[in-house]
Amino acid sequence: MNTDKDWQKDYPNTGEVTSESLEDNSSLKKMLDLIGDGKEVVDFGCATGYFSNLLQNKGCTVTGIEINVDAAKVAQKYCQQVVVADLDFVSITEILPSQKFDVAVFGDVLEHLRNPWKILAETKEILKEDGYVIASIPNIAHAAIRLSLLQGRFDYTDLGILDNTHIRFFTRKTVKELFTKSGYLADIVDCTKLDYFSESNLIPQNIRSEFNLETIETIEEDEDCDILQFIIRSYPCSEAHLQQLQVELEQSQAQLQQTQAGIARSPSRLQQTQVKLEQSQSQLQQTQTQLQQTQSQLQQTQSQLQQTQNIIAVIEDSKFWKLRNLWLLLKQLIFPTKKEHKN
């Protein structure tokens, strides 16, 4: 969204932006999936209607809010209604006095506003009972920004995180605070990413060799170092929501008390377990000793058996043994048994 009438942005060509052409890492793709089909949507900062067109193709009815008159005229082709307004100087309920929406979209818009807290608070009044906000917000804590600051650079650009029309800057922490203070349940559900040394016009350009390895590694420890945009889905905190939160809080406290009581009983259980473990270890050692003794006896028996077999083999192979066998054969021939003699 353009918040200054003197600034004219180069908006995407609506005909070229299709759901099939969107990359998975695109904020438009991620927001489109979160909104779903057949919703009544208000698109804040609708520009030329390129995102409204995607929503319309999914069966959504779209109302656009845009500060740029020329862009608003183009967006009328893709919106049921387009309202030309500067959100810094109007009330949401004034420009949309009798409409209710399933979803309010702020695609890279809130950072352009002087008082995004006020706009979000007012937006709750135009949402249906189960309505919610979908937003994308740039991450000022991106590593490319941090590295350029180390070199004393904070140069505004035409696009990206340091867009020259940005008034507010947000980190993960302050994004959550923005929605929480405005009366929402904040939930950062997704993000887009961009390598901090990439040659993109969305971030400051830095040369890796100009920074020592320790500095880069320190910055890389932050999980948000390569996040370009946060994707947020937030529900207004109604009285019913607050009551539900209170119930969940009480349940959590009860679970915590049970856990603490369990922890208090744990030392005694731990001692009992340690005693049983020591007994088991002693029994295991005894069993291992007996097994070793049995294996030793088995080895001795096998050795004795082998020796006996060797002796038998030697005897059977000796001349004496052969003569003995010959004598027994002759004896049977010369002196037949009584049974044979009778026959």
> Domain boundaries in the chain?
14-237, 247-323
DSSP 3-state of 276: helix
Output the pLDDT for position 166. 96
CA 176 and chain centroid, separation: 18
What residue ranges of the chain have pLDDT lower than 50? 1-8
DSSP 3-state of 21: coil
Nearest to 101 by CA among 72, 136, 67, 125: 125
Encode pLDDT of 204-229 as tens digits.
Answer: 999 999 999 999 999 999 999 999 99
Output the pLDDT for position 283. 87
Output the pLDDT for position 246. 65
Paired residues of 43 in beta bridges: 64, 105
Output the pLDDT for position 2. 44
Nearest to 159 by CA among 11, 6, 4: 11
The answer to whether the CB of 56 falls within 8 A of the CB of 126 is no
CATH H-level superfamily of 14-237: Vaccinia Virus protein VP39 (3.40.50.150)
Q: Look-up: residue for tokens 């919106």?
A: 79
Token pair of 128 as six digits:
């249906």
DSSP 3-state of 137: strand
Output the pLDDT for position 338. 54
